[in-house]
Amino acid sequence: MTDSRAPRSQRPRSRPVIALDGPASSGKSSVGAAVAAALGLRFFDSGLLYRALAWAAIDQAVDPSDGPGVAALASSVAVEADEDGRLERVVIDGREVSAEIRTPDVDRVVSAVAGAPAVRATLLVRQRQLVEAGGIVVAGRDIGTVVLPAADVKIWLDASAEERAARRALERGIDPASAAGRAILDDLRRRDRADEGRAIAPARPADDAIHVLTDGNTLDQTVAAVIGAAATRLGATAGGADE
Ligand code: DC
Tell me the domains of the chain and their CATH numbers.
15-225 (3.40.50.300)
pLDDT on residue 237: 65
Question: What is the pTM for the complete model shown?
Answer: 0.90
Alpha helices in the chain (DSSP H): 28-39, 47-59, 67-71, 104-114, 117-131, 161-171, 179-197, 219-238
Give residue 104's pLDDT band: very low, low, confident or very high (50, 70, 90): confident
Mean pLDDT of 47-75: 97
Q: Which atom of ligand 1 is nearest to the CA of 143?
A: 18
Give residue 238's pLDDT band: very low, low, confident or very high (50, 70, 90): low
Mean pLDDT of 80-94: 89
pLDDT in tens, 121-167: 999 999 999 999 999 999 999 999 999 999 999 999 999 999 999 99
Spatial separation of the C-alpha atoms in residues 165 and 43, rounded to whole Å: 24
Spatial separation of the C-alpha atoms in residues 66 and 57, rounded to whole Å: 9
Interval between CA 114 and ligand 1 midpoint (Å): 7
Give residue 13's pLDDT band: very low, low, confident or very high (50, 70, 90): low
> Ligand 1: does its nearest atom lie under 6 Å from the Cβ of 139?
no
pLDDT on residue 82: 85
Contact predicate 203/142, CB 8 Å: yes
Contact predicate 158/22, CB 8 Å: yes
How far is the CA of 12 from the CAs of 8, 74, 143, 240, in angstroms? 8, 31, 20, 12
CB neighbours of 197 closer than 8 A, spacing ≥ 6? none
Tell whether the model's pLDDT for residue 36 goes beyond 60: yes
For ligand 1, atom 1: residue with the closest CA: 47
pLDDT on residue 163: 96
Tell whether the model's pLDDT for residue 51 goes beyond 50: yes
Mean pLDDT of 228-232: 94
CB neighbours of 159 closer than 8 A, spacing ≥ 6? 26, 27, 167, 213, 214, 215
Give residue 206's pLDDT band: very low, low, confident or very high (50, 70, 90): very high
Residues in the chain: 243
Give residue 240's pLDDT band: very low, low, confident or very high (50, 70, 90): very low
Mean pLDDT of the chain: 91
pLDDT on residue 243: 38
Interval between CA 8 and ligand 1 midpoint (Å): 26
Structure letter (DSSP) for residue 146: I
